[in-house]
Copies of this chain bind each other. A is one copy, B any other.
Amino acid sequence: MTPARSRRPSAPTRTERGIPEATVARLPVYLRALTALSDGGIATASSEDLATAAGVNSAKLRKDLSYLGSYGTRGVGYDVEYLRYQIAREIGVTQDWAVVIVGIGNLGHALANYSGFGTRGFRIVALLDADPDLVGEQIGDMEVRDIAELEDIVKTDRVSIGVITTPAGPAQEVCDRLVTAGVTSILNFAPVVLSVPAGVDIRKVDLSIELQILAYHEQRKSGEAALPPVPELPTMNGLPDLPSVGGGVGA
């Protein structure tokens, strides 16, 4: 143990004026909770009230809000409207982001119809598909357009967010085209790992992965006693050249 061990004291974790990722992911939840309180006619709320509405504990909520500034009043709480605006501004939904949806199958259809598209803050500027039978179809007040128009639309409408609801196959190509055209954020519903250059953000929504995570825990509830601890060898069709197995399942 060296005497003056320079253990950098609680590094800032986030870049200047940046906010920890875990906090960023919760800000939209707080925003929604505040909107609900506001709609309910509530003008002031304590961190405890807000935390309950958002489904987190109050210590976490106060810590999260502290990254934005000091928007509360000791002994009183937070002004709902004021805090709501501050969070909306911090997230960036006081402006409107142009969005395209690529792949108008069942899911693309559903998203296109999604009224309000979350809250405000986003504007769907085009629905694109490669299928000529779909092109021209009317969905709400929009018409499905040919994917050939992708580049034009992204450039003309300054689209920054692309939503991919194609099958797995074409997803990477669609992604590449979006990025090349200038899109810098992607929300991917296709069941594939997409690669994007640095500077492009990507988030993934995956039904089957969510279900599998639930299944894991489910198995550990009901199953516990019913399941065999571990089969030495799986009984699957054809398991060519097992790597000398060894059976045991670790400690």
Chain A residues within 8 Å of B, Cβ to Cβ: 18-19, 24-25, 27-29, 31-33, 43-44, 53-55, 66-73, 76-79, 81-82, 85-86, 89-93, 95, 97, 99, 105-107, 109-111, 113-114, 117-119, 121-122, 160-161, 184-187, 191, 193, 195, 199, 201, 203, 205-223, 230-231, 234, 236, 238-244, 246, 248-250
Contacts and interface: CB of A to CB of B under 8 A. Distances in A.
Given A92-B212, A107-B114, A161-B214, 4 more contacts: A25-B213, A67-B250, A70-B248, A97-B215
A194 B242 CA distance: 45
A161 B239 contact: no
A224 to B, nearest CB: 10
Instruction: List the 8 closest pairs (A to B, CB-CB), nearest first.
Output: A118-B208, A92-B219, A73-B243, A106-B110, A55-B193, A28-B212, A185-B214, A69-B249
Contacts of A223: 92
A160 to B, nearest CB: 5
Contacts of A219: 91-92, 95
